[in-house]
Structure 1
Amino acid sequence: MTQTYTQTRRFVLLAAAGLSVMSLVACGKPATKDEHGEGAGEDFERGPHKGRLLRKGEFSLEVTIFESGVEPEFRFYPYWQEKPLDPKSVTVTTKLTRLGGKVDRFAFAAQDDYLRGQGVVEEPHSFDVRIDASHRGQAYAWTYASYEGRTTITPQAATAAGLTVAAVGPATLLERLDLAGRVETKPEGRSEVRAWYPGRIMAMTVELGQSVRKGQVIARVESSESLQTYAIPAPISGTVIEKNANVGGVAYDSPLYVIADPNALHAEFFLFPRDAEKVRVGQTVEVRAPGAATPVVAKVEAILPSIDEATQTVMAHVHLPGSNGGIFRSGLGIEGSFLTGEQSVPVAVRTEAIQTFRDRPVVYTQVGDTYEVRMIEVGRQTPEWTEVLSGIEPGDTYVVKGAFLIRADIEKSGASHDH
């Protein structure tokens, strides 16, 4: 128990510093002893073509993966007593067992001075290898491990580091249009309070910033014609945002007060013509205010038919529901994601899970306590989901949160691509 606790604590501390205690074995570096006694971390003998040189008595076979200008393919060079052999005198088959149990098999055909594998060696080049060869009736066999982008983490360490996983599967990709906008008071949520008849202001009973209710008396004016004093009620409920007169002044055309309902708000977004074609009344919009933890889900309530001559944009109004905790105020700059469509895809991963490995998009799969890189071809992408066209299969388990820790450890170890 003490040993497990120490290992877990050490992993967490090092991960926080951008490191880890993951045991990565780079491509071409055996993780377990093969029949030649190669231990983890030891290099292997190389042949004239810089490949792995396998020996059995006077016969030897140099194993390479050639990928210059072509899809990765095996090229094996046979030797007898250190001298090149006619590849037509040798037969070879190869079996690759990948993490998770998938097996790739290759036959070989003689070409020039080497045996060429019949098929593409798919990425990652990480597998347990078995090679069977024959020459002049004599059989030869080798097994070894050749891993890249692979590491082992105990469940306790994975939990402590915050790693989470999910299964590859179908998803619905929401098409979004992100726009900047501002909050404004609706026309019906704003009222300018004027005197009904010109006259002297006898009383003003509310102050700037004060809340009022509809029908509440907020001023009294003595008519210049009848010399009768009449009361002026608030036409709407809201907050006094302007006070433009004082007792003793003369009420005429100018508003005494301006009242605004803080809950009668909408958002205004400016759409360029190419974007306006995607936006429709009733569409869902996720509106985000600065500093707000979560967006407010709203609806497009109107799209104005005219185009602003100065900006060549169309204005869309988005209804903001009331009682939103005061996060929206008139004049506030906001952002909105318009959900303009959706598309179901059969294979997808969480976008946050995607990392890079040798400048390619990857995710990290999990099989038991082992994690390994998977190069993927991506399709459509949203902030939540990314469609995967190839490189991973439905049902595979992949790392969602914490994938960057695995990537950092691989980069730190200098994962090679030798064979």
Structure 2
Amino acid sequence: MIRLNPSRRWIAASAILFAFAAAACGDKPAEKAGKQAEAAAADYERGPHRGRMLRDGDFALELTIFEEGPEPLFRLYPYVKDKPLDPRQVQATIDLTRLGGKIDRFAFTAIDDYLASPGVVSEPHSFDVAVNATHAGKASTWAYQSYEGRTVITADAARDGGVTTERAGSAWLGESLPLNGRIEITPEGQADVHARYPGRVMMLSLQLGDRVRRGQVVARVESSESLQTYSVTAPISGVVMAKNVGVGAITGNEPMLVIGDPNQVHAEFFLYPRDAERVRVGQRVEVRSLAGDHRINAEIEAVLPTADLTSQTLIAHVHLPSQNGAWRPGLGVQGTVQVGTTQTPLAVRTKAIQPFRDFQVVYAKVGDTYEVRMLELGRRTPEWTEVLGGLEPGTEYVVDGAFLIRADIDKSGASHDH
């Protein structure tokens, strides 16, 4: 696949559109005649019901697509010398040849003052139309093109514009859940330093932020009972996080110092009750710093069983390996946890989906022709979107460069008309 940076893609897009215009100016006679016929077809005669008039001498049919009900349906109004004709005197069929060769056939029966077919005219309403009718023993046939959301782009132009395609098929959809939390030192990475016996602090030279080693003497205390001085050592290696006494103070129940190891940290994520049942130990989480400059994939190692009374949230712990101070205790973090992965029979790349009229669509590719496919969508992830209807498995569709296809369709004016 050829990929262009955004600036080069816009240049390529301009070149493609210019190439289309230049090609139109240099049409061969047959090609020019075909395009003139298409232009003329867009300005067809309309009947009393705003449908397309099809004439054969005195006999005529007005073809409409009735779209006021739950599904679009064909209606045919027959006339003789422009006066309504009893529809029971007419037999009619319509064949719609779609891009790729599929044919939809419709047979009609008389209802009230028109002929109706129970078959739904599915989107897109883009096809080659063949109408056959019989009245008073005479057969009449008509054929015309009725395209919407369709354009032709050469392979070279599409390649230069960065257009890439894939085949629609099954995919694994991972449902994700966003989380917010903060970095905290693990319980094993912090310790309170207490005096063994109450007494007066005779020596305490450490300051906040000083580093200590496990077993290092951090203070000397004179026992109030024996008046003997004893040493207080650091139970772990780390940094002085809190200092609650000074030289001359009397020790009590409060710790003299709090030591923490900033290399032993984990992320604590807050789980709201609606999400708590979906989060489990062992699920993968992408952890990101708020600045976005650090990220890591890790596993949930614990979900605490009790909720905070004030916030009504549970806490999920995610272990973070030491990364030279990348994760600083107290800073906020964001996370995305995968809470479920299922396979769907049919999906398309989420980035391939484009707006068209009131629909979400992808552009199907058949040869050098591109055409919209209106989609019924299901679950969506940043990478994949489930397709419930509107697209056949195995259809080749545009993934990158869909804006080029859309721009050319808009330029051509291929509208929803009948």
Query: Structure 2 length normalisation: TM-score?
Result: 0.80
Say if 2:38 and 2:145, in contact at 8 Å, map to a contact too: no
* Shift of residue 39, structure 1, vs aligned partner: 3.6
For 1:92, give the aligned amino acid.
A
Secondary structure of 1:204's match? Answer: coil
Unaligned runs of 5+ in 2: 1-6, 22-30
* Shift of residue 32, structure 1, vs aligned partner: 8.7
For 2:375, give the aligned amino acid.
I
Distance in 2 (CA, whole Å) between partners of 1:179 and 1:10 is: 37
For 1:278, give the aligned amino acid.
R
Query: What are the equivalent positions in structure 2 for 1:35-74 lying under 5 Å apart?
Result: 37-39=37-39, 42-74=42-74
For 1:371, give the aligned amino acid.
Y
Equivalent residue, structure 2, for 1:338: 337
Equivalent residue, structure 2, for 1:386: 385
Say if 1:12 and 1:160, in contact at 8 Å, map to a contact too: no
Equivalent residue, structure 2, for 1:158: 158
CA deviations 1:325-373 (Å, max 9, x no partner) are 6443222222233322232221122333333333233222222332221
CA deviations 1:89-113 (Å, max 9, x no partner) are 3332222121222221112223333
Q: 1:333 to 1:415 in 2, by over 3 A?
A: farther
Say if 2:240 and 2:259, in contact at 8 Å, map to a contact too: yes
Q: 1:15 to 1:164 in 2, by over 3 A?
A: same
For 2:302, give the aligned amino acid.
A
Query: What are the equivalent positions in structure 2 for 1:245-284 lying under 5 Å apart?
Result: 250=249, 252-253=251-252, 257-284=257-284
Q: 1:96 to 1:325 in 2, by over 3 A?
A: farther
Higher mean Cα deviation, 182-191 or 362-371? 362-371
Secondary structure of 1:274's match? Answer: helix
Equivalent residue, structure 2, for 1:117: 117
For 1:66, give the aligned amino acid.
F
Higher mean Cα deviation, 51-60 or 113-122? 51-60
* Shift of residue 162, structure 1, vs aligned partner: 3.9
Unaligned runs of 5+ in 1: 1-8, 25-30
* Shift of residue 172, structure 1, vs aligned partner: 2.2
For 1:381, give the aligned amino acid.
R
Say if 2:211 and 2:238, in contact at 8 Å, map to a contact too: yes
Equivalent residue, structure 2, for 1:363: 362
Query: What are the equivalent positions in structure 2 for 1:8-407 lying under 5 Å apart?
Result: 12-13=10-11, 37-39=37-39, 42-194=42-194, 198-200=199-201, 202=203, 204=205, 208-209=208-209, 211-215=211-215, 217=216, 219=218, 221=220, 223=222, 230=231, 233-242=233-242, 250=249, 252-253=251-252, 257-292=257-292, 295-313=295-313, 315-324=314-323, 326-404=325-403, 406-407=405-406
Distance in 2 (CA, whole Å) between partners of 1:125 and 1:341 is: 38
Higher mean Cα deviation, 163-172 or 31-40? 31-40
Distance in 2 (CA, whole Å) between partners of 1:72 and 1:209 is: 74
Say if 1:23 and 1:152, in contact at 8 Å, map to a contact too: no
Higher mean Cα deviation, 358-367 or 65-74? 358-367
Q: 1:142 to 1:361 in 2, by over 3 A?
A: same
Identity %: 54
The structure with the largest helix share of the pair is: 2
Secondary structure of 2:119's match? Answer: coil
Q: 1:64 to 1:339 in 2, by over 3 A?
A: same
For 1:52, give the aligned amino acid.
R
Higher mean Cα deviation, 131-140 or 383-392? 131-140
Aligned residues: 399
Secondary structure of 1:386's match? Answer: strand
Distance in 1 (CA, whole Å) between partners of 2:211 and 2:412 is: 65
Distance in 2 (CA, whole Å) between partners of 1:94 and 1:335 is: 58
Say if 1:183 and 1:330, in contact at 8 Å, map to a contact too: yes
Distance in 2 (CA, whole Å) between partners of 1:213 and 1:303 is: 32
